[in-house]
Structure 1
């Protein structure tokens, strides 16, 4: 690609991100007319209009949005290729953007991330632990972790990391005054603690042989935090349906008891999602390796069954 083409692409991306030619000129230390000419040359070569222009606003066209996505990826790839050939020799550096579900992120990912940052001092991280599903491309996410079935853009890579196993648990104090359920239907007579995400209560699913049993227990308490549900269960507030990685240590220490063992919940996939690129950047590649190595190792202790592709 000719240098002029790259410069025009850089000007286009800067204008799109700044929302104006003036803002792009300030960021790129260029003149407003220089940015405008670069964008015009790019539009002439492509034969499409990239921006809707008025005297007061600058907005991307549909073609412009599609082209911006590709250009942003190209510039990122160029930057990372340059870094990989520098004295760092593939050392993770720059900004690493990561998103993961709240509870899994806090319990399983954060300890690894702390070690990762300590190992690579040139790396910074921008992390979101949330159950909200973000647009990876639009939000500039390097790596996303998803729990459950995914429906991602075909341009993204989806890689199964492991599986989540949910367990019904209750404290010994609760079970002293309430008989343990022997069937999922018995949950309707218990004080249950429900997990709520985006205003939706989570159903409790069980499997016996080839039959799936779906229960929507009457919630005495609903919370949007798995760790808060765990604390409530330990305090004797009711039965909780939680991932094994949240309650495993509590089960081992006797703070919680596992119930309905014969009715195992169907495993839920935990996946890694990242932009499709020929060469992963060192920061993404090394963090994926760290997740695979440690999550697979911990699976033998937490009832997480690794399913590495």
Structure 2
């Protein structure tokens, strides 16, 4: 048994949740994954994993062992990276996931310049508004907006804050009237971006007054671009990041309401796995998006 290989196989199987996924990630056969873990269990004289044809789970001993193995392998990777980061230029494949509207409006025009700066680097940029598990799905970096970032082992570097406005088309507001208070939204058609952390309740403040309004609109959608389309078509009102509709407001095709009230703010983060020494490609990209979003 190659002890180091067996430890890596065990860790990968645990983190990906199956022997098949571990085999694919490590470019091994499922039989080789099973053999390595079996030999590791014989070496430590304890059963580490409960496994059936349908699912796999850690035993109590396996859970304790996994925490130690993960820490040891991270330390080894960090030691290697601490020297490599001093010598290597950003290179290889960088996999990034980011929300659709924010990327198209702010980041994507600058991507060609970033790649020109690092000719040995390739970028696989997946635009997706859902909350991606970057460890399980193999991404190096995620750009993520959140009203309150959940606890995790990931590093989250704050980039900037998106303020929100309630807006709709002048035609809709002319037909239905402008709400004077947040509670008036109950009488309006409201479009909900269902992937946001505040889809079902919109919060407002004015001075010392705080109001929360439950929202249950006829149109719920997982794309903020689709929300904007509905507003432009005169369907209703929505709570949207100001950045996404700034040009429409300037042109007069959308208008804001409840201007005396401040709404929710969403912080935008660069999220990446916790490492003491970032690989050059991740460090270069994080520095790049910090630079870009500093202009927002």
Q: 1:290 to 1:167 in 2, by over 3 A?
A: same
Find the counterpart in structure 1 of residue 19 from structure 2: 19
Q: Which whole-Å CA distance do the structure 1 matches of 2:221 and 2:51 have between them? A: 47
Contiguous gaps of at least 5 residues in structure 1: 299-309
Q: Does 1:158 align with 2:156?
A: yes
Asked if structure 1 preserves the Cα contact closer than 8 Å seen for 2:107 and 2:292, the reply is no
**Equivalent position to 2:222, from 221, 224, 231:** 224
Q: Distance in 1 between matches of 2:83 and 2:213?
A: 54
Conserved in 1, the CA contact under 8 Å of 2:164 and 2:241? yes
Deviation at 1:191, TM superposition (A): 2.7
Relative to the length of structure 1, the TM-score reads 0.73
CA contact (8 A) 2:145 2:266 kept: no
* Distance in 2, Cα, partners of 1:137 & 1:120: 25
Pair 211,47 (structure 1): closer, same or farther in 2 beyond 3 Å: farther
- Across the aligned residues of Structure 1 and Structure 2, the Cα RMSD in angstroms comes to 3.9
State the secondary structure of the residue aligned to 2:174: helix
Deviation at 1:242, TM superposition (A): 0.7
Alignment of 1:26-105 (within 5 A): 27=27, 36=35, 40=39, 44=43, 48-51=46-49, 61=58, 62-63=62-63, 66=67, 69-70=70-71, 73=74, 77=78, 80=81, 84=85, 89-105=87-103
* In 2: Cα distance, 1:10 partner to 1:209 partner: 55
Q: How much has 1:117 moved relative to structure 2?
A: 3.5
* Partners of 2:85 and 2:277 within 8 A in 1: no
Picking from 262, 265, 268, the partner of 2:263 is 265
Q: How many residues align?
A: 284
1:273 deviates by 2.3
Mapping for residues 140-219 of structure 1, pairs under 5 Å: 140-144=138-142, 145-153=144-152, 155-197=153-195, 201-217=199-215, 219=217
Instruction: Select between 266-275 and 122-131 the one with higher mean Cα deviation.
Output: 122-131
TM, length-normalised to structure 2 = 0.75
**How far apart, in 1, do the equivalents of 2:286 and 2:261 lie?**
33
